[in-house]
Amino acid sequence: MFFLQGCRSRIEPADADREARELLGLVPGFDWKVDPGSRLADPSNAAFPLPPRDDPDSRRITVMIQEKDAYDDGNESRLLASEKWRAQLPLLENGKVGLEIETAMRLGLLHSPEFQAQKEQLYLSALDVTYERFRLEPKPFLGFSGGASSKEGTPSNTLESTTRAGFGGMAGQGADWVASLASRLSIELGGGSVDVGGSLAGLTITQPLLRGASKRFYRERLTLAERRLLSDARSMEQFRQGFYLGLATGRNPAVGLGQSEIAASSARTSSVSGFLGLLQEAQKIRNQEANVAKLKDSLSQLEAAFEAGRIGNRLQVDQARQALYGGQSSLLASKAAFDGRLDQFKISMGLPPDLEVEVNEEYVEQFRLTDVDLVEMQDALNLKLRLARDPDKTPSSPSLLALALETLAMRPRVERSLAGFKSDHGALSTALPVRLKWYWRLRERPDLREIGMGADAFRDEDLNRVVAELNATSERMEEQFSVYWESLDDIVASAQADPLDRIRGRVSTSLNELTGLFLELSLAKASARLESIVMKEVRVETEYALRMASEKRLDWMNARATLVDAWRQADLARDDLRTDLDLVLSGELGSSALGSGNFRPAEGGASVWLELDTPLSKVLERNRYQASLIFYQQARRQYLAFEDEVLSSLRNFSRVAKLNQLNFELSRAAVRGAIAQVDLARLRLSEPPQVGRNGQFGATTARDLVNALNDLLDASNSFLQVWVGYEAMRMRLDYELGSMKLTENGTWVDPGPILAKTPSRWKNKN
């Protein structure tokens, strides 16, 4: 019973889970059991899964061959996935899942099949260790055989049984030992005799003297399993980091568990997808919406100018209208593309694409250069302007007066927008010292000096002038809006006495003036927000960064261990070429048939002998040794290639960081220039005719305005793209340096500025 109980306790599946947990209890985020709240949870919740529904034709083949012994077919009601996970989703009041990077990571860790597969691979690696440990432990064995026999010509039958039990294992310098106890029992039926064949206790020890005579060899399989478990635990943590990068930027650089070769870093790319890519596309849609609103404003102003006779050719109005239609079409296409990317992102989290989600865009809020509320007011104002110009829609003075009163009701919203402009201007004042310091770094860069860029391109006085102009704009616009509201009050007050045509003209002119003020305010707010955006510093000195990565990167630790494993395999193969020389010690102690279990020295014995097997025929071992040497050299070259790839990657990060920092300021300047172009085109459209000169606008007025608005859209998108790429690069650089930290929920701990550079105290010593 002792032997049976000992064997049974080691084959229980629950014991395998317990032993794996003891090995992996400290690994972050590790639990191979699927959470009941996960979409991956098996709804049957059975120890052994029920059979799923089979393909009908395949089922017929199975039944035809196995007949009645065929397994049961799963019916249609047996679901492969449960819907209970939906009850635990973080829903907003509108019933949609609120999606931000923290929520995405939490949902991905819970529902992603890819991440679950990595956890299960680590569990399997732990099971390998439990087996290798068990293999080297003293193991009990128990055997029993019995049967009945009869002989011709005799009236009796004989029952015989043999029992053998004992322990076996390995110890010392590779010694193999077996301790056993055997007994035999014979019963003759018919004759009534019982023959006890006696008992025999034995001990055999086999000690290698040449090949395999070391713990280094007979414990090699356990050593390799333990080392691979450590490697897989590191890979699991690095995969968790890479999984975050995959969700955040669209690319997971981690190779995952079970990698037997030294893997270099994955190929680099400048494109960004993932959650940051979604935010980038969402903000581009906001920019397009603002562009469409500005195109509507421009079309309204051009139509008013055409009706006033200041545009002699309707072609300019048609050009503006066509640009508006093109912008609206592009907006619809961008929204459709965004929905497609959002579906793919949901799949990457392990969620179905039809799940309703709402992306939280707060991360790129600072790039929303256009006030959303102001865009809505612009749309409403354009509608009022069209109504005021259409006698069929506003045939009476009261209808025109209602439009003026509705416009007056917008005053609180406009004042809030003005207050927001002042707030953005205050943020710029706070960011100004950082901007000036950034300008100084750009001026001091040797690479920019070599191409003649630096001192002239990034002057403090230019930045100070922009701030001063925004100060003046803030004061001027506050005064302009104050004058405008007084003017509109006057129109409302005199509406009862004025004739219909005069009221229509004054209301239309007033609404058109407010349209221009809205456009100017929108551009001013965009300028203030544009100038207040700053980057977090990244500086990479390659030599120091390489040293840092070699000490902290988990995959670099694994690469070194993998190289040593290849050398160790060659060492084992070399040992196999040695002569087999074993010392065998054997001893037995028996008992007589009548005294079974009563052992006596007289019925025992001992022996010592040597077993020799010369290596004359070890051709297979020779070939394995030669192959192991080649495999080691290949591993050594892979390790050197790994170092080269990491060095190349860090050098590239240094270059890309500098390039993005430059492009960020150049893109900002491009947006600044585009805003100035739009402002200039707007001023041309709103300036009054001069006495004695042709009052019509130029032939390219509409085209200039449309081009300026489209240039502003393109520049704003490019500015955003540089910043998003820079943020993705910061995340990846933190990973490449081995310094990346995650919270318990798996989200990135932003280190702020990343300064992979030699400390100044080191430089002073050198």
Among 249, 269, 295, give the residue marking a domain's end.
249
Q: Are 402 and 528 in the same domain?
A: yes
478-502 pLDDT, tens digit per residue, is 899 999 999 999 988 887 788 888 8
Angle between helices 554-575 and 220-249 (to 10 degrees): 150
255-271 pLDDT, tens digit per residue, is 888 777 777 665 566 68
Among 534, 561, 592, give the residue marking a domain's end.
534
**Across 622-631, average pLDDT:** 93
- Map tokens 């020890």 to a residue: 205
Q: Are 9 and 127 in the same domain?
A: yes
Q: For residue 316, count CB atoms less than 10 angstroms from its CB and return exposed for 0-12, middle for 13-18, buried for 19 or more.
A: buried
pLDDT band at 715 (very low <50, low <70, confident <90, very high): very high
Question: Percent of the chain scored above 70 by pLDDT?
Answer: 89
Q: Is residue 214's pLDDT more than 70?
A: yes
Q: Are 131 and 142 in the same domain?
A: no
**Across 236-249, average pLDDT:** 93
pLDDT band at 763 (very low <50, low <70, confident <90, very high): very low
Q: What is the pLDDT of residue 269?
A: 64
Q: Is residue 652's pLDDT more than 50?
A: yes
Three-class SS of residue 593? coil
412-462 pLDDT, tens digit per residue, is 999 999 998 888 888 888 899 998 998 888 888 888 877 777 677 788 888
Per DSSP, what are the bridge partners of residue 176? 170, 206
pLDDT band at 2 (very low <50, low <70, confident <90, very high): very low
Q: What is the pLDDT of residue 189?
A: 62
Q: What is the pLDDT of residue 156?
A: 63
Q: For residue 168, count CB atoms less than 10 angstroms from its CB and return exposed for 0-12, middle for 13-18, buried for 19 or more.
A: middle
Domain count, the chain: 4
Within 8 A by CB and 6+ apart from 573, the residues are 621, 624, 625, 627, 628
CA-to-CA distance for 272 and 249, rounded, in angstroms? 5
Q: By the 8 A CB rule, do 198 and 184 touch?
A: yes
Angle at 525 between CA 520 and CA 531, to 5 degrees: 125
First to last CA, the chain: 73
Q: What is the pLDDT of residue 108?
A: 93
25-44 pLDDT, tens digit per residue, is 766 667 788 888 899 888 87
Q: By the 8 A CB rule, do 74 and 54 touch?
A: yes
- Map tokens 């039958």 to a residue: 157
Q: Are 484 and 502 in the same domain?
A: yes
Q: Is residue 468 part of a domain?
A: yes
Q: What is the pLDDT of residue 268?
A: 62
Q: Would you give the DSSP letter of residue 4?
A: H
Closest to 573 measured CA to CA, from 512, 625, 531, 629: 625
Q: Are 517 and 608 in the same domain?
A: no
pLDDT band at 639 (very low <50, low <70, confident <90, very high): very high
CA-to-CA distance for 763 and 492, rounded, in angstroms? 74
Question: Percent of the chain scored above 90 by pLDDT?
Answer: 33
Residue burial 356-370, b: 16+ Cβ < 10 Å; e: rest: ebebbbebbebbbbb
Q: Where are the alpha helices (DSSP H) in 194-219?
A: 215-218
263-311 pLDDT, tens digit per residue, is 766 556 668 899 999 999 999 999 999 889 888 888 887 887 787 777 7
Within 8 A by CB and 6+ apart from 382, the residues are 296, 297, 300, 515
Q: What is the pLDDT of residue 570?
A: 93
DSSP letter for each residue of 124-163: HHHHHHHHHHHHHS-EEEEEEEEEEEE-TT-S-EEEEEEE
Q: Are 35 and 72 in the same domain?
A: no
Q: Is residue 682 part of a domain?
A: no
Q: What is the pLDDT of residue 100?
A: 92
Strands 357-359 and 97-99: parallel
348-384 pLDDT, tens digit per residue, is 999 999 999 999 988 888 888 877 788 788 888 888 8
Q: Is residue 516's pLDDT more than 90?
A: no
CA-to-CA distance for 378 and 515, rounded, in angstroms? 7
671-689 pLDDT, tens digit per residue, is 988 888 887 887 677 665 5
CA-to-CA distance for 214 and 568, rounded, in angstroms? 14
Is the model more confident about 711 or about 186? Answer: 711
Q: What is the pLDDT of residue 7?
A: 47
**Across 177-187, average pLDDT:** 79
Q: Are 516 and 388 in the same domain?
A: yes
Three-class SS of residue 39? coil
Q: What is the pLDDT of residue 23?
A: 83
* 566: its two tokens: 């290849």
HEC secondary structure over 19-30:
HHHHHHCCCCCC
Q: Are 480 and 604 in the same domain?
A: no
Q: What is the pLDDT of residue 765?
A: 45
Q: Is residue 164 part of a domain?
A: yes
CA atoms lying within 13 Å on the CB side of residue 470: 30
Q: Are 376 and 524 in the same domain?
A: yes
Domain that holds residue 585: 138-216+580-613
Three-class SS of residue 606? strand
Q: What is the pLDDT of residue 557?
A: 93
Q: What is the pLDDT of residue 6?
A: 45
Q: Is residue 406 part of a domain?
A: yes
Q: Is residue 544 part of a domain?
A: no
Give the number of other CB atoms < 10 A from CB of residue 464.
12
Q: Are 430 and 380 in the same domain?
A: yes
Q: Is residue 378 part of a domain?
A: yes
Q: Is residue 150's pLDDT more than 80?
A: no
Q: Is residue 204 part of a domain?
A: yes
* 656: its two tokens: 């890309």
Q: What is the pLDDT of residue 629?
A: 95
Mean pLDDT of the chain: 84
The lowest-confidence range among 155-169, 330-344, 564-578, 733-747 is 155-169
**Across 602-616, average pLDDT:** 80
Q: For residue 496, count CB atoms less than 10 angstroms from its CB and return exposed for 0-12, middle for 13-18, buried for 19 or more.
A: exposed
pTM score of the predicted model: 0.84
Q: Are 165 and 23 in the same domain?
A: no
Among 479, 505, 534, give the residue marking a domain's end.
534
Q: Are 516 and 594 in the same domain?
A: no
Q: Is residue 650 part of a domain?
A: no
Closest to 653 measured CA to CA, from 747, 728, 563: 728
- Integer-rounded Cα radius of gyration of the chain: 41
Q: For residue 692, count CB atoms less than 10 angstroms from its CB and return exposed for 0-12, middle for 13-18, buried for 19 or more.
A: exposed
